[in-house]
Amino acid sequence: MRRIKLYLDNAATTKVSKEVVKEMEKYFTEEYGNPSSLHELGENANKVLNKAREVIAKEIGAKAWEIIFTSGGTESDNLAIQGLARAYLKKKKIVVSSIEHSAVLETCEFLKTSGYEIIKIPVDCGGCVKIDVLHDVLNKHAKDVLVVSIIHVNNIIGTIQNIEEIGKICRKKEVLFHTDAVQSFGKLNIDVGKMNIDLLSASGHKIGGPKGVGCLYVREGVKISPVIFGGGQERGIRNGTENVPAIIGFAKALSLSKKINKENIRKLRDKLIANLEKIGGKINGSKKNRIYNNVHVSFSGIESDSLVVFLSQRGIYVSAGSACDSKKEKEDHVLRAIGVKDKDVLGSIRITLNENLSERDIEFVIKEIKRFPKPSLSHSKLMGYSARFQDGNL
Amino acid sequence: MRRIKLYLDNAATTKVSKEVVKEMEKYFTEEYGNPSSLHELGENANKVLNKAREVIAKEIGAKAWEIIFTSGGTESDNLAIQGLARAYLKKKKIVVSSIEHSAVLETCEFLKTSGYEIIKIPVDCGGCVKIDVLHDVLNKHAKDVLVVSIIHVNNIIGTIQNIEEIGKICRKKEVLFHTDAVQSFGKLNIDVGKMNIDLLSASGHKIGGPKGVGCLYVREGVKISPVIFGGGQERGIRNGTENVPAIIGFAKALSLSKKINKENIRKLRDKLIANLEKIGGKINGSKKNRIYNNVHVSFSGIESDSLVVFLSQRGIYVSAGSACDSKKEKEDHVLRAIGVKDKDVLGSIRITLNENLSERDIEFVIKEIKRFPKPSLSHSKLMGYSARFQDGNL
C-alpha cells in the first residue's frame, strides 16, 4: 500500500514547521526566564513577550495591550463569555449563532444554570447567520444582552460570516460583539476597528504555531474579569506564568502564514470539490462564503468514521466532524442547523487543505475515496471499517 | 566584569534541557495530530498523551485517569477550587494556610464575592501550618468546608508542610484536601494514597519541563466541574485541544528529574546558607522543614530589588519575592505571616538552586553579594541600583 502522508485535517490542528520550532528553541534552553523575574533573564523574556504581542495585535489592527495571551482558542472563548458575565452582572442574555464552536456553546450552557438566557440565531442552508433575525432579537433585547458571539469561520463547514455587518449592527445597538476567529485568524483579513469587534479569540495551533497558546483581543474600555486568578500576569486578566516559547512560536507562525499562496490552495480545493461532486458527493455549506481551504462533503449511505479510517490506512488524514470531539454527534448541530439530512450527516467528512499539496495529491485523494466500498454493500460489511486501524487490506 | 551565568531562580522557572526539547520536537513537526482526530495521526497523539499521563500518575501513586492536564499550576489551583465550588454548591467555607500561592488566595478572594468564607490557618515562625488551629477549625466547621487547600512546599521560603498529617486530619473529618504541589512535585516523594490527598496541582516548568503545562490530580469519586468548557477533552473536566508536545516534555522532564543528585544540591545550599549568615544574612523560614534547593535571606537595611539587579549585572540571577508577580508586595504576605519585620521583608531575596552548580559557584555568589554596597551608604545611593540594568560599573 502506498504510504504517502497527506494531512488534510488542518482545521483540527496543523504541523509546526521547523522554522517555528527553531524560533522557540532558544526560549526553552537559553532565554528561559520568567517574564515576572526582575533579573536580566526575566527582563529579556518580558521584552520578547511584548514584541510577540505587537505582532499578534498588528494582524487585527489592535493595540498591543489589548491582546491577552491564553492557553488556546477554547480558553479565549471561555474568558470572553465568562469574563464578561462576571464584569457586567446585570446583562443576562447572550446571543449566539446556531453553529458556534462547543467552546462557546458549552460555556453558554453552563451560564444557563446561573439564570442566563441563550438566544440562538439560525443560519441559512449555506451556514450564514440570518441577519434579519439578529436585527429583530437586538431590537427587542439589546439592553439585556451581555454579548453577541458569532463565529467568524465555522470549524466544520468553513462558512465565513459577514462579520463587518454583524459588528455594525451590534455597535448601533450598543451591544458588545465577540467573534471566535480561531479558524480565520491569520487566514482572512481582520480589522477589529473597521469590523467593530470588541472581543476576538484566536489560536496558535491552527496556523502552524504550537498547541497550548492563543489569545483574546479585548477592546480598550471593555470590562472583563479573569477566569483564572493568580499572580497578576496579562494585566491580571489571565494569570499564570506566560508561555513564552509558545507565544514566540505563535507570532512566528503568523508571520510565516503571510507567505502562503492562498489562491493556490483555493484552486486545489475547488478542483477537489468538483471531483467529489463527480463521484456523488454533496457539498455541505455555502460554496461562496467559505474559507479557501475547507471542503465538507456527504456521501449518502456511507459511515464517515469508516471512510476516515479507510483513508487513514492509505495515509490520507481527514476528519469526521470536528476534531475537537471524537464523539462527533456533539458537533452535528452545525450540519443539522443548515438542514443536512440524517443519512448525509452520518456520511460526511471534512477535508481541510494546507499549502503543501499538489494537483497530484488531490487526484490521489479522489482515487482512494472512489475505492471505498459502495453503500450498496451490506451495512455490517461497512461497519467493519470502524474498527480502528486494523492491519491488512480491506 | 565576569559574565558567567548562574541561574539561581529555579522556583520561578527552570531551563528546559536539550533532551526535553528533542523529545518534544517530533510532536511539533511529525506526530502533530490532534488527539481527538480519528485518523492515525490523531490516534498516535492520543496514545502518547495517555502514556505521558501514566508517567505523571505513577509519580504520585495515582491512576492515569485521575490526572487532568491543564495549562499550568495556576490553572490547576483554579480548577481545583472553582471546580469544587461548582460541584459542591452547599459547602461555603474554604480553609487555606496563610502562606498559599496567589493562585489559591486570589481564587478564594473571587469566591468571597459569591458568599464564600475563607478561613486562613496561621503558620509558625518557620512557616509550618499550625496543626492545632486546623484541628479546631475543622472541629467547628467541617460540614460546611468545601476544601482544605494547603501548599506542600511554599514558593517563597520553601517550607515543607506535613502533608501526611494534614491529609489524615482532613480524611478523619471527611473534608476534601487539595495541595498545591507545584514546588514539590518531582522533587519530594508524594503518595496521594498514603497522604490522603484528594486533589493535587503540579506544573511542568518548575522541573525542567516547558511552560504552559501542568496537571490536576483528582481522586476518583471526587466531583469536579470544569472551569473551561468546550469539546469534552480530559473527560470534559478541562476542555481545549490537549497540548501534546508540552505534555510529552513534562513527562520527560519528570523522568530526568529522577537522576538529579538532590543531596548534592542540599549540601551546596547549606554551604550557601552558612556563608550568608557569616556576612550578616538572616535566613527566613524553617531550616529543617525546607525544600533542599531553597534559600530565603534578609539583609537588614538593603533594598532587595537593587541587590537583584546588582547581581544580575554580574550574571547571577536570583529573585526578590515571588517571580509570579513583579509587584512583589503581593507576595509579602508569606514573610509577614512568619513574622519577618518590615525592613527585613524589604531586604530579602530568594535563591533557588539547581543541579548545575558547583562549590565554586556558591563562593562566587557570596563574593558578589559581599561587594554590594553596605546599608550604611545613603538611601539615595542605594536606590540608584533600582534602575533596571544600567550599564557600567556601579
What CATH number should be reported for the domain holding residue B207?
3.40.640.10
Cβ of B39 and A102 within 8 Å? no
Residue B313 lies in a domain: yes
Q: Which residues of A touch B78 (CB under 8 A)?
A: 227-230
The shortest CB-CB distance from B389 to any of A40, A110, A241 is to A40
Number of Cβ pairs < 8 A linking chain A and chain B: 285
Q: Indicate whether A348 and A223 sit together in one domain.
A: no
**Residue range(s) defining the domain that contains residue B240:** 18-257
Residues 6+ apart with CB under 8 A from A59: A185, A186, A190, A254
Q: Convert the pLDDT of each residue in A130-139 to its tens digit.
A: 999 999 999 9
B43, B229, B327: residue with CB nearest A78: B229
Q: How far is CA A217 from CA A191, A390, B71, B247, in A?
A: 12, 45, 19, 27
Q: Does A365 lie in the same domain as A231? A: no
| B313 contact residues in A (CB cutoff 8 A) | 40
Window 10-29 of B, Cβ < 8 Å to A: 12-18, 20-21, 25, 28-29
Q: Are B178 and B279 in the same domain?
A: no
A102 contact residues in B (CB cutoff 8 A): 229-232, 239
CATH number, domain containing residue A273:
3.90.1150.10
Residue A110 has its nearest CB partner, among B205, B229, B231, at B229
Residues B136 and B272 in one domain: no
Q: Does B320 reach chain A within 8 Å, measured CB to CB?
A: yes
Q: Which among A36, A77, A309 has CB closest to B326?
A: A36
Q: Which of the residues B23, B38, B77, B104 would you substitute to probe the A interface, choosing the one with the greatest number of A C-beta atoms within 10 Å?
A: B38
8 Å CB contact of A37 and B233: no
Same domain, A25 and A129: yes
**Chain B within 8 Å of A205 (Cβ-Cβ)?**
yes
* Boundary of a domain, candidates B206, B223, B257: B257
A17 contacts B29? CB cut-off 8 A: yes
**B9 shares contact with chain A (CB less than 8 Å):** yes
B324 and B215 housed in the same domain: no
Residues of B in contact with A246 (CB under 8 A): 210-212, 246
Residue B49 lies in a domain: yes
Specify whether A200 is located in the same domain as A269: no
DSSP state of A158: -
- Residues A106, A234 within the same domain: yes
In a domain, A61, yes or no: yes
CA distance B36 to B240: 10
**A13 within a domain of the structure (yes/no):** no
B4 in a structural domain: no
Q: Of A15, A29, A71, which is closest to B29 when you measure between CB atoms?
A: A15
Q: How far is A342 from chain B (nearest CA, A)?
A: 21
pLDDT at B130: 98
Q: Are residues A274 and A219 in the same domain?
A: no
Last residue of a domain, one of A212, A236, A257: A257
In a domain, A3, yes or no: no
- A322 contact residues in B (CB cutoff 8 A): 36, 231
Angstrom distance (rounded) from CA B166 to CA B289: 15
Q: Is residue B177 within a helix (H) or strand (E), and if so which, with residue range?
A: strand B177-180
pLDDT at B393: 30
Contact state of B230 with A77 under an 8 Å Cβ cutoff:
yes
Interface probe for A, chosen from B18, B229, B313, B332 (most Cβ of A below 10 Å), is B229
Nearest to A228 among B14, B17, B74 (CB): B74
Judge whether B350 lies within some domain: yes
| Interchain CB contact of B37 with A (< 8 Å) | yes
Residues of chain B with pLDDT under 50: 1-2, 322-328, 377-394
| Sequence-ordered strand ranges (E) for A62-188 | 67-70, 93-97, 117-121, 145-149, 177-180
How many structural domains is chain B composed of? 2
Full pLDDT tens readout for chain A, 394 residues: 445 799 999 999 999 999 999 999 999 999 999 999 999 999 999 999 999 999 999 999 999 999 999 999 999 999 999 999 999 999 999 999 999 999 999 999 999 999 999 999 999 999 999 999 999 999 999 999 999 999 999 999 999 999 999 999 999 999 999 999 999 999 999 999 999 999 999 999 999 999 999 999 999 999 999 999 999 999 999 999 999 999 999 999 999 999 999 999 999 999 999 999 999 999 999 999 999 999 999 999 899 999 999 999 999 999 986 444 444 455 689 999 999 998 889 899 999 999 999 999 999 999 999 999 866 544 444 444 443 333 333 2
How is residue B91 annotated by DSSP?
A: -
Identity of the residue in A37, A110, A305 whose CB atom sits nearest the CB atom of B9: A37
Q: Please check whether residues A252 and A264 belong to one and the same domain.
A: no
Name the E strands within A211-354. Answer: 214-218, 282-283, 294-298, 316-317, 348-352
| CB spacing of B40 vs A227 below 8 angstroms | no
Residue B330: what pLDDT?
58
User: Helix, strand or coil for residue A294?
Assistant: strand
CB contact under 8 A, A230 and B74: yes
In whole angstroms, how far apart are CA A304 and each of A10, A342, A376? 18, 12, 15
Active site residue B215: no
pTM for the complete prediction?
Answer: 0.94
**Is A330 within 8 Å of B211 when comparing Cβ atoms?**
no
Q: CA angle, B14 as apex, B8 and B17 as ends, to 5°? A: 120
Q: State whether A137 and A285 are in the same domain.
A: no
- Kindly provide the residue ranges of all beta strands, DSSP E only, lying in B246-355, ordered along the sequence: 282-283, 294-298, 316-317, 348-352
Domain final position from A204, A228, A257: A257
Residues in chain B with CB shorter than 8 Å from the CB of A73 are 240-241
> Is A54 in the B-facing interface, judged by CB distances under 8 Å?
no
**Distance, CA of A109 to CA of A112 (rounded, Å):** 5
Query: CA–CA separation, A251 vs A254, rounded Å?
Result: 5
CA angle B56, B180, A26 (to 5 degrees): 60
On whether residue A319 sits in a domain, the answer given is yes
Which residues in chain B touch residue A231, judged by CB atoms under 8 angstroms apart?
A: 74, 101-103, 106, 322, 324-325, 330
Calculate ∠ Cα B218-B324-B1, nearest 5°.
135
Same domain, yes or no, for A245 and A274? no
The CA distance from B242 to the nearest CA of chain A, in Å, is: 7
Interface touch A212/B34, C-beta < 8 Å:
no
Is there a contact between A348 and A358 (Cβ–Cβ < 8 Å)? no
Asked if B244 contacts B27 with a C-beta cutoff of 8 angstroms, the reply is yes
A226 contact residues in B (CB cutoff 8 A):
110
Taking CA atoms, B96 is separated from A149, A379, B88, B128, B286, in Å, by: 37, 59, 17, 13, 19
Residues 212-231 of A with CB under 8 A from B: 212-213, 226-231
Length reported for chain A: 394
**Which DSSP category does A359 fall into?**
H
